[in-house]
Amino acid sequence: MAETINQWSVITIVISGLVLLLGVYFIKRGNREAHMRAMLTASALATIFLVLYLTRLGLGYEKKYVGPNHGAYIALLISHIILAAANLPLALLALWNAWKGLQAAGNLGNIDSPAARPYFAKHRAWVRWTVPVWIYVAVTGWIIYLLLGKYGEVIKGA
């Protein structure tokens, strides 16, 4: 069961990363509604990933890296863990400011209103950090998954 949960967690985070990139594409094209939908979808999928990941760990399914270049793998893993932990509050702050801005605006067509402008300015400031960190965490997570698929050894009773 833990292996199946592991596979679904990977599927959700891969799709989340792809939808995140789609959301960035949409906002660069000025399509605010598609951007909002994409980012909410990416956030929901990332949340599902986190629940599945923690469930998998709770079931005792963990892999140990036994491949070459152990030091490089550990450096990648540490950077991934630190930035993944940092990404949660970054994403929550970005979402919070977008939500407050949307509430102040009343609708997406009115986000340039004086009441909404400060929230969306904060949203944009936060996403300048959040999106690159999220992409890094997603890509390094995929790399770690592939490395553990090739060089991982399941830890029994972890």
pLDDT of residue 156: 67
pLDDT of residue 71: 96
Tokens representing residue 59 in the block: 């079931």
Tokens representing residue 5 in the block: 């949960």
Distance CA 87, CA 107 (A): 27
Distance CA 10, CA 133 (A): 18
**DSSP designation for 145:** H
> Residues 111-122: pLDDT tens digits?
899 999 999 999
Residue with tokens 């830890």: 155
Tokens representing residue 31 in the block: 């399509």
Distance CA 87, CA 136 (A): 10
> Does residue 129 carry a pLDDT above 70?
yes
> Residues 67-122: pLDDT tens digits?
999 999 999 999 999 999 999 999 999 999 999 999 999 998 898 999 999 999 99
Task: For the chain, give every domain's residue range.
Answer: 2-155
> Residues 20-64: pLDDT tens digits?
999 999 999 999 999 999 999 999 999 999 999 999 988 888 889
